[in-house]
Amino acid sequence: MSIRLDPRRLGVLKRLAADADVRPGDLVLLWVTERLDAERTGAAVPSSLVAELTRRLDELTARIQALEASRGAQTTAAPSTVAEMVPVEVEGFATAAPAKRKRGTKVSAAPAWPRIALHDEMIAVLTDRGSPMTAAELAEAIVERGRYAPPRSGKPLDAAMVSQRVSNPTYRSRFTRNEGRIGLAG
């Protein structure tokens, strides 16, 4: 199934999904499933979820309006036709035919800050701490710093990922491993 969303609403959807730590398609699927279940059973949609998402949407809308006002920019009108909206594939729904997109209309989520590579974050932590660490300690320290964002897979950082990066031939020259502890290569 394909749906079309206003690009600004798509951005809000992506932020809500990131806040909920799920993919945008999964969040839409959750909403649709909850709504369908509520309609079938006659029960109300869980008000806590609706209230939380509404609150976040209102906050984001207010922030967008404040940014537009501070820049002195005029608010752009919402798309008035379906053709002006951005097509979005919703995972979990079959389509009769794939939606055709014009070249260059793909929308991707831009990170709020520059993406920091895992090996760069590992180097920063090892430099700050000044002593070799186990892969688990290093992974925990990186998560605590909060600067590293997991890859698109969304898999949380763990000791195995840190160990794999150290073992990767591309980065092997930057790190040393001695008695299970990872340090910086001299």
The pLDDT score that the predictor gives to residue 51 is 72
The pLDDT score that the predictor gives to residue 37 is 78
- Three-class SS of residue 177? strand
The pLDDT score that the predictor gives to residue 133 is 92
The pLDDT score that the predictor gives to residue 2 is 80
The pLDDT score that the predictor gives to residue 134 is 93
Q: Which helix (H) or strand (E) holds 56?
A: helix 47-71
Cα–Cα distance, 164 to 138 (Å, whole number): 13
What is the pTM (predicted TM-score) of this model?
0.41
Cα–Cα distance, 11 to 56 (Å, whole number): 13
Annotate 57-101 with DSSP letters as a single string.
Answer: HHHHHHHHHHHHHHHTPPPPPPPSSGGGSEEEEPTT---SSPPP-
Tell me, what amino acid is at 64? Answer: I
The pLDDT score that the predictor gives to residue 104 is 56
pLDDT averages per 10-residue partition of the chain, 186 residues: 81 85 85 81 66 79 83 57 60 52 54 74 89 91 84 81 90 89 89
